[in-house]
Amino acid sequence: MTSCGFKKRVDHHGVHLLKKKSNMIIVAETNKNDIIKLLGPPSVTSTFNNDLYFYIERKITTGKLIKLGKKEYLENNVLVLEIDNRGILLKKEFFDLNKMKKIKIVSNETSVDYKKQSFIYEFLSSMRQKINDPLGKRKRD
């Protein structure tokens, strides 16, 4: 009974106080070294035309007894920083839990059409036939 407490256990992953620290970063003034000094190394990096740094903060707690201890998100923040080739911050985007719920994901799918009469089907059929009967001596079905 002594180990039970009234405080909920909170698991914290990523950069602490990400929203507060992101307000200290100024577009077109802050450079790459300042960002790393303030936030540390990024959680994820990506390189296209410019460098993209992703910083993540997540706080999870155990839910109420009624929900059978299902985990609840207290915070789920992502900071995306775009840095140019000279090391200066070009763009800053902050996504919190509410903003992420508004992001719509496209559900369109690309279909692949392979019909029996297509060029690919005919080509693969002829290759299979040549592999099975290289001299052309077998009886055709």
CB count within 10 Å of CB 78 equals 20
Q: From CA 108, how far away is CA 18, in angstroms rounded? A: 34
The helix (run of H) or strand (run of E) holding residue 128 is helix 119-132
- CA dihedral sign, ordered 94, 95, 97, 98: positive
Residue 27 lies in a domain: yes
Give 10-residue mean pLDDT values along the chain (141 residues). 64 90 93 94 82 91 70 86 92 84 70 63 76 69 52
Full residue range of the structural domain in which residue 71 is found: 10-104
Provide the pLDDT for residue 138: 65
109 within a domain of the structure (yes/no): no
Question: How many angstroms separate the CA atoms of 36 and 128, rounded?
Answer: 57
Asked, for residue 131, whether it belongs to a domain, the answer is no
**What CATH number should be reported for the domain holding residue 42?**
3.30.1450
Q: 70 in a domain, yes or no?
A: yes
Place of tokens 């992502």: 78
Please indicate, yes or no, if residue 126 is contained in any of the structural domains: no
Please work out, in degrees rounded to the nearest 5, the angle formed at the alpha carbon of residue 98 by the alpha carbons of 92 and 100: 60
Residue 57, in any domain of the structure: yes
pTM over 0.95: no
Count of structural domains, the chain: 1
